[in-house]
Amino acid sequence: MTTKWWIEGGTFLTMDDGQPIVNGHLVVEGSRIVYLAEAHPGALADGAERISGSGLLFMPGLINTHGHAAMTLLRGYADDMVLQDWLQNKIWPLEARFTAEDVRAGAALAAVEMLKRGTTAFVDMYDHMDEVAQVVEQAGLRGVLARGVIGLCSEAEQRAKLEDAIRFARDWHGKADGRIRVMMSPHAPYTCPPAFIEQFVQAAHDLDLPMHTHMSETAAEVEQNVRDYGVRPVEHLDRLGMFSRPTLVAHAVHLNDDEIALLAERGVAVSHNPASNLKLASGVARVPDMLRAGVTVSLGTDGAASNNNLDVFDEIRLAALIHKGVSGDPTAVPAYEALKLGTVYGAKAIWQSDEIGSLKPGMRADIVALDIDQPHYYPRTDLISHLVYAGNGRDVKHVWVDGVQVVRNRTCTRLDEERIAAEAAARFERLSSAT
């Protein structure tokens, strides 16, 4: 029997430009929204479980388009350091010791945090991805997952990694009622030799999958690319055929005008990670320029070791603030556009904009309810503005993914939060005590 439920008398931020705010009713049948309008749903609501929308603002679940969920285990382990020192002396040595169980524990902690802060879909690039996929399946999240690979190793090791990435795709793409999708993901141009990247592009063609990689995060990395390959990263990846596949690149901080134009032409989507880019002093991405050029820009938190939270609302607010301050234009990235980065454009960046990212009949029921009976939502001038400039993931009260309630009254329904927090704490103790 298909479950049917009805939000009665709520305020809906649809993220649908035709009517961004609807004060009315929403009905879900199974995994999809079947009704959203001001008028009473009439017979359509017959037999539906009724949920009061009073004091709540409903919006599409947020989409986090870049991260490494398991890195929650390293949250706060090393901060305020120079990037290479941070990576080489702190992060990489501990990551090298990660077991599958560590990845599962870290991903589970990430799942709790993301769901409770209103994120319903996320991109993940890491190792031991079977564990992450199992967490996604159990948590009820939507995941676009990739076995990320670094190619600075022997050809035999490269081959094993490629095979693992292909095997993971075959095992998991389309699983968990279609909530899991898979990408092919060479880590970055500076960590993967060109021939290795080409093998991934070929595999993506063979499996009909999109691609994901880190690109142009730091100025040094761009310089090195020019030194090693004679061109900047965008042209380099384009020559290797990557952009012949649907591609999502993370960071894209250091781009010139030609590169922005090429990304737009090739339909390459960008995951903008403002908190991570600021914290690691990578710089400020040219988001207003990219948006003007027609590039799809979405938002990512990056891993919790470089953020250090997984709250996409924080990224939305940062995106709305920093591009104004840095460009000197107070109209840059207005509130509604900032919200689109975390919803509509996020869905487009993971090729699911027909399914998620906005609330309207026919879309999947990935819905977040925020408690707006709080001082920072008063007076009732402009809910979009309140949400972006004063709101926060802690305002989230309920969350549904694919029609299923995964957070009720600020508590995960499918995950044991206490056990997961304790397990993460214990796993970190084990990892760090042996160093």
Footprint of a copy of itself on residues 50-79 (CB under 8 A)? Answer: 72-77, 79
One of 33, 146, 275, 368 touching a copy of itself (CB under 8 A): 275
The span of 172-180, 187-195, 228-236, 382-390 binding a copy of itself (CB under 8 A) equals: 382-390
> Omega before 308 cis (within 30°)?
yes
The token pair that represents 282 in the structure block: 């990578």
Contact 72, 113 (CB under 8 A): yes
The token pair that represents 233 in the structure block: 């990263």
| Residue 335 touches a copy of itself, criterion: CB under 8 A | yes
Q: Which is nearer to a copy of itself, 138 or 244 (CB)?
A: 138
One of 34, 59, 70, 109 touching a copy of itself (CB under 8 A): 109
Is 214 annotated in a binding site? The answer is yes
Q: Considering the complex, what minimum distance in angstroms separates the CB of residue 304 from a copy of itself?
A: 8
| Residue 367 touches a copy of itself, criterion: CB under 8 A | no
Q: Considering the complex, what minimum distance in angstroms separates the CB of residue 427 from a copy of itself?
A: 7
Contact 20, 359 (CB under 8 A): no
Is 25 annotated in a binding site? The answer is no
Helix (H) or strand (E) holding 143: strand 142-149
| Residue 327 touches a copy of itself, criterion: CB under 8 A | yes
Is 251 annotated in a binding site? The answer is no
| Residue 280 touches a copy of itself, criterion: CB under 8 A | yes
Please count the residues of this chain forming the interface with a copy of itself, following the rule CB under 8 A: 71
Please report, as a single letter, which amino acid is at residue 252: A
| Residue 417 touches a copy of itself, criterion: CB under 8 A | yes
| Residue 104 touches a copy of itself, criterion: CB under 8 A | no
Q: Considering the complex, what minimum distance in angstroms separates the CB of residue 30 from a copy of itself?
A: 30
Residue 208 backbone class (left: φ over 0; alpha: ψ -120 to 50; beta: rest)? left
One of 318, 344, 349, 367 touching a copy of itself (CB under 8 A): 318
Is 147 annotated in a binding site? The answer is yes
Contact 267, 244 (CB under 8 A): no
Residues numbered 283-302 forming contacts with a copy of itself, rule: CB under 8 A: 283-284
Contact 253, 284 (CB under 8 A): yes
Is 395 annotated in a binding site? The answer is no
Residues numbered 393-412 forming contacts with a copy of itself, rule: CB under 8 A: 394-395
CA distances from 310 to 62, 109, 121, 351, 433 (A): 11, 10, 12, 22, 26
Is 402 annotated in a binding site? The answer is no
CA distances from 129 to 1, 134, 167, 360, 420 (A): 33, 9, 11, 33, 18
Q: Which is nearer to a copy of itself, 308 or 358 (CB)?
A: 308
- Encoded one letter per residue, x for contact with a copy of itself by CB under 8 A and - for no contact, window 188-227 reads ----------------------------------------
- Please tell me the number of Cα atoms within 13 Å of 87 on its side-chain side: 4
Is 323 annotated in a binding site? The answer is no
| Closest-CA residue to 145 (of 106, 175, 119, 188) | 175
| Residue 307 touches a copy of itself, criterion: CB under 8 A | yes
| Residue 358 touches a copy of itself, criterion: CB under 8 A | no
Q: Which residue has the tokens 């304790």?
A: 422
One of 330, 409, 434, 435 touching a copy of itself (CB under 8 A): 330
CA distances from 262 to 53, 113, 124, 301, 348 (A): 45, 36, 25, 25, 18
The span of 80-88, 171-179, 198-206, 257-265 binding a copy of itself (CB under 8 A) equals: 80-88
Q: What is the Cα 282 distance to its own chain's centre? A: 19
Pairing verdict, β 211-215 and 411-412: unpaired
| Residue 21 touches a copy of itself, criterion: CB under 8 A | no
Is 429 annotated in a binding site? The answer is no
d(CA 297, CA 320): 13
The span of 61-69, 161-169, 202-210, 427-435 binding a copy of itself (CB under 8 A) equals: 427-435
d(CA 117, CA 342): 13
Please enumerate, by residue number, every residue annotated as part of a binding site for substrate: 95, 147, 187, 217, 302
Please enumerate, by residue number, every residue annotated as part of a binding site: 66, 68, 95, 147, 187, 214, 217, 302
Please enumerate, by residue number, every residue annotated as part of a binding site for Zn(2+): 66, 68, 214, 302
